[in-house]
């Protein structure tokens, strides 16, 4: 039977998922349904890299040794302090015949993994370079993706750094595509990377009907989005101030409020601003990782607000392709992204 989630790769903890496991078995040969990758580089999670840098006093060689030691011990690159991982880039070396995409994948294709390094079996043969300024470790080695392990084929016609920056938040615009309909008033809280992509996708889904409002604490971030024509209106707000945010949205919409609120804020305590800015019967999608479940659930109840609140799932089928397409079809957005996030 195909081991969809790689449970058989967990060492010594029966029934535990790879992400929570202490140690994974990265040995070959490949098992049923798996994908083998020749790894070129590890993009280490920012929190993890910062911790490693501090531990090694900023010394690249010591950091290389620390990464080698973790992977040798755990069979995966999961930081012992922050418990976070990152992702990797490499070339497909082998696809087992039972992998769900066996018929379309080709050996040699360059891919980026979209599942965390914390659940990816990994073996390092040698470390070629440590890039201290961009949280990157260039290696030779192999990694294994389980049949459920999502990844993206890296396009030839986009710079790799741009593709990787976009992949980081690809789930957001893909989910937005399902919720935005022509004629809606859409409020975006947060004018950062995922906010910009979501606005571009919302613009496409609205087909010229409806209104896109971008809200952020930074006037200059909003100005950038307006220059790119990614929003119709903009609002300088502090989304942790729920009532003030609501009042500004009410003034801008003549009291109708937003049909859909998309929360891409990077700070905590923005749940109530989202709920209060949404009309009764409307929808809120939370993408912010700072979202508190109880603050959202109890907050909406506390103000008697009938809104549908959705947890922003980072995975939507086809999300990588959708996001690459957005960038390719929006040369100005692409240039903005390249300048800002690469």
Give the footprint of a copy of itself on this chain (CB under 8 A): 5, 7, 15-17, 19, 114-116, 119, 148-150, 171, 241-244, 272, 276, 286, 289, 291-294, 296-298, 300-317
**Closer residue to a copy of itself, CB minimum distance, 223 or 306:** 306
Indicate the residue among 86 and 312 with the shorter CB distance to a copy of itself.
312
When the beta carbons of 79 and 330 are compared against a copy of itself, the nearer one is 79
Nearer to a copy of itself, 150 or 342 (CB): 150
Query: What is the 3-state secondary structure of the chain?
Result: CCCCCCHHHECCCCCCCHHHCCCECCCCCCCCCCEEEEEEEEEECHHHHHHHHHHCCCCHHHHHHHHHHHHHHHCCCCCCCCCCCEEEEEEEEEECCCCCCCCCCCCCCEEEECCCHHHCCEEEEEEEEEECCCCEEEEEEEEEECCCCCEEECCCCCCHHHHHHHHCCCHHHHHHHHHCCCCCEEEEECCCHHHHHHHHHHHHHHCCCCEEEEEECCHHHHHHHHHCCCCCEEEECCCCCHHHHHHHHHHHCCCCCEEEEEECCCCCCCHHHHHHCEEEEEEEEECCCCCCHHHHHHHHHHCCCCCEEEECCCCCCCHHHHHHHHHHHCHHHHHHHHHHHC
Shortest Å, Cβ 160 to a copy of itself: 22
- Residue among 141 and 171 whose Cβ is closer to a copy of itself: 171
For the bound state, the minimum distance from the C-beta of residue 31 to a copy of itself, rounded and expressed in Å, comes to 17
Q: Do β-strands 110-113 and 86-95 pair in parallel, antiparallel, or remain unpaired?
A: antiparallel
Q: How far is the CB of 72 from a copy of itself (least distance, A)?
A: 23
CB 141, min distance to a copy of itself, A: 22
In the complex, the smallest distance separating the C-beta of residue 192 from a copy of itself, rounded to whole angstroms, is 17
Closer residue to a copy of itself in complex, CB, 137/285: 285
Shortest separation between residue 19's beta carbon and a copy of itself, angstroms: 6
Q: State the nearest-atom distance from the C-beta of 178 to a copy of itself, in Å.
A: 9
Q: Which is nearer to a copy of itself, 16 or 107 (CB)?
A: 16
């Amino acid at each position: 039977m195909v081991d969809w989630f790689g449970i058989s790769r967990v060492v010594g903890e029966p029934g535990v998922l790879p992400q929570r496991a202490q140690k994974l078995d990265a040995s070959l040969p490949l098992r049923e349904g798996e994908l083998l990758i020749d790894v070129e580089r590890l993009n280490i999670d920012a929190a993890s890299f910062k911790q490693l840098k501090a531990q090694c006093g900023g010394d690249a060689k010591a950091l290389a040794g620390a990464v080698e030691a973790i992977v040798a011990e755990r069979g995966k690159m999961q930081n012992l302090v922050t418990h976070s991982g990152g992702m990797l880039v490499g070339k497909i070396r082998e696809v087992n015949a039972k992998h769900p995409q066996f018929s379309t994948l080709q050996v040699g294709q360059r891919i980026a993994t979209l599942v965390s390094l914390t659940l990816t079996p990994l073996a390092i043969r040698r470390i070629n370079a440590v890039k201290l300024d961009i949280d990157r470790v260039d290696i030779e080695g192999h990694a294994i993706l389980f049949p459920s392990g999502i990844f993206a084929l890296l396009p030839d016609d986009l710079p790799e750094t741009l593709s990787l920056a976009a992949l980081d938040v690809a789930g957001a615009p893909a989910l937005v595509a399902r919720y935005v309909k022509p004629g809606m008033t859409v409020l975006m809280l947060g004018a950062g990377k995922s906010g910009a992509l979501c606005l571009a996708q919302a613009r496409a889904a609205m087909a010229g009907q409806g209104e896109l409002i971008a809200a952020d604490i930074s006037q200059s971030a909003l100005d950038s989005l307006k220059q790119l024509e990614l929003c119709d209106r903009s609002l300088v707000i502090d989304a942790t101030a729920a009532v003030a945010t609501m009042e500004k949205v009410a003034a801008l919409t003549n009291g109708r409020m937003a049909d859909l609120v998309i929360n891409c804020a990077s700070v905590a305590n923005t749940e109530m601003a989202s709920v209060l800015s949404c009309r009764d019967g409307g929808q809120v999608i939370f993408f912010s990782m700072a979202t508190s479940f109880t603050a959202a659930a109890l907050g909406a109840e506390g103000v008697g607000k009938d809104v549908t609140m959705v947890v922003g799932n980072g995975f939507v089928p086809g999300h990588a392709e959708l996001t690459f397409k957005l960038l390719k079809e929006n040369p100005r957005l692409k240039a903005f992204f390249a300048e800002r996030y690469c």
